[in-house]
Amino acid sequence: MCGDWSNIAAVAVELPPSGVQTVTTPATAYNGSYTVSWTASDGAATYELQESANGGSWTLVQNTAARSLAISGKPTGSYGYRVRACNPVGCTGYSATATTAVVYPPTAAPSLSAPARVGPGSIGIGWNAIAGATRYTLQESANGAAWVTLLDGNATSYATPARGVGSYAYRVAACNGAGCGSWSGNAGVTVVSAPTLEPVINAPGWVNVRDYAFSWSTPANTEYFILQESANGAGWVTLLADGRTSAAVGRDNGSYAYRVQACNFVGCGPWSGIATVNVVLPPPATSFYIATWLTTRRPPYQVQCEAGWREVPGATEYQLESGGGGERLYTGPYGYVNARGGAYCAHSYRVRACNAGGCSAWTADYPVTTGVLSDE
């Protein structure tokens, strides 16, 4: 026979949480703000969330019943997250790691390169790559107007559409999903045309010396000049192609035509008007070959005087004087004088050759040879 039953004792059985969580976090987080979340686990009282910064050791960042964590202010880097569910009996294993890359706008500005001066047409612009940039924004300001975006893409160079004469400024910024860094310094490009105006030549109409000079004006956008000469109607010959605005030449008698055009790296403008210089040099010196003074033997006395000198190239007239320049005896085109009477008589002579350019030097005084004139 048995006695009465004891009181009934109830035993509660609790097991560790079941299952492994799945962590969700963005692959990329811009400017350091993002949320980490994970799935629930049956029987979990709390969840332990750990973080590994840039591959370092794991650190507990949250141990609560919540199933997410909002994060802000994270510096640039790579952050891994794992979680496990726990209760008083135990914990699950850790979940697989989920990683987030924290990205901020690029901190450096590109260095922009562009030509200082170009002709009308496309302008080529380039810049260096910046760490952390996934795209670049290129802007243009034409002739001081507002900035206009030409490119917003992943490139480090750009060729503009054709640009006309004017002044253009360019700037570029490195960007990514978090935003853009600071602008580069401005690069200025001047688009110029070939000179559109012809130079104006300032030259003497005629000279009586071999060496002479002339000059010309400088139209806008000129970098150098081409000067050409035509001697006595012959073909044009280039004398210079440089930045000078004047020229000095030495020429003999003749007619010399000049023209000049203004040029730059784009091309050349129209030719100037033609300036002609006539060179008329004084003739060379002449010399006597005869000078006589003849008289009759007996009264009434008669006199005949003659003088002759060599004709020289370029002379248009000769000037005959008595020795020492006492009296002008003849001015004319001939190289010989002869007359009865005292018209050309002197004890000595001097002569010089002349033309429109001037006169040669006087000869030395040439003595007269006396003789007897036949009586008639």
Q: 269 and 300: one domain?
A: no
236-274 pLDDT, tens digit per residue, is 999 999 999 999 999 999 999 999 999 999 999 999 999
Asked whether residue 98 falls in the same domain as residue 124, the answer is: no
> Is residue 14 domain-resident?
no
E strands present in 16-165 = 23-24, 28-30, 34-38, 46-53, 58-64, 68-71, 77-87, 90-91, 98-103, 112-113, 117-118, 124-127, 135-142, 148-153, 157-159
- Same domain assignment for residues 245 and 309: no
Please indicate, yes or no, if residue 132 is contained in any of the structural domains.
yes
Across the range 134-153, mean pLDDT stands at: 97
Claim to verify: residue 118 and residue 166 sit in the same structural domain: yes
Are 177 and 209 in a shared domain?
no
Residue 67 inside a domain? The answer is yes
Is there a single domain that holds both residue 99 and residue 121? no
In a domain, 3, yes or no: no
Q: Rounded mean pLDDT of 48-73?
A: 97
Other beta carbons within 10 angstroms of residue 228's beta carbon come to 19
Considering the domain architecture, whether residues 179 and 221 belong to the same structural domain is answered as no
Q: Which of 254, 279, 304 is the last residue of a domain?
A: 279
Q: Which of 60, 83, 103 is the last residue before a domain boundary?
A: 103
Kindly write down the DSSP assignment for every residue of 106-125, as one continuous string.
-SSPPPEE--SEE-SB--EE
Q: What are φ and ψ of residue 263, in 5° steps?
A: -135, 160
Amino acid, single-letter form, for residue 56: G
Do 262 and 336 belong to one domain?
A: no
Using the 3D structure, point to which of 279, 312, 331 is the last residue of a domain.
Answer: 279
pLDDT at 375 over 80: no
Band of residue 376 on the pLDDT scale cut at 50, 70, 90: low
Would 4 be classed as within a structural domain? no
Confidence band, pLDDT 50/70/90 cuts, at residue 19: confident
Q: How confident is the model at residue 295 (pLDDT cuts 50, 70, 90)?
A: confident
pLDDT of 158-204, one tens digit each?
999 999 999 999 999 999 999 999 999 999 999 999 999 999 999 99
Judge whether 236 lies within some domain.
Answer: yes
Q: Is the pLDDT of residue 325 over 60?
A: yes
Are 70 and 117 members of one domain? no
Q: Is residue 2 part of a domain?
A: no
Rounded Cα distance, 287 and 307, in Å: 11
CATH of the domain at 307: 2.60.40
DSSP 2: -
Q: What total number of domains does the chain contain?
A: 4
Residue 49: which residues within 8 A CB-CB, separation 6 or more?
36, 38, 60, 61, 62, 63, 69, 81, 82, 83
Q: Is there a single domain that holds both residue 162 and residue 235?
A: no
Determine, yes or no, domain membership for 12.
Answer: no
- Per-residue pLDDT tens digits for 95-116: 999 999 999 999 999 999 999 9
Same domain, 79 and 38: yes
Q: pLDDT-based confidence at 299, cuts 50/70/90? A: confident
Pair (70, 122) in one structural domain: no
CATH of the domain at 230: 2.60.40.10
pLDDT of residue 82: 97
pLDDT of residue 9: 60
Q: What is the mean pLDDT of residues 28-43?
A: 95
Length of the chain, in residues: 376
Q: Which domain holds residue 65?
A: 23-103
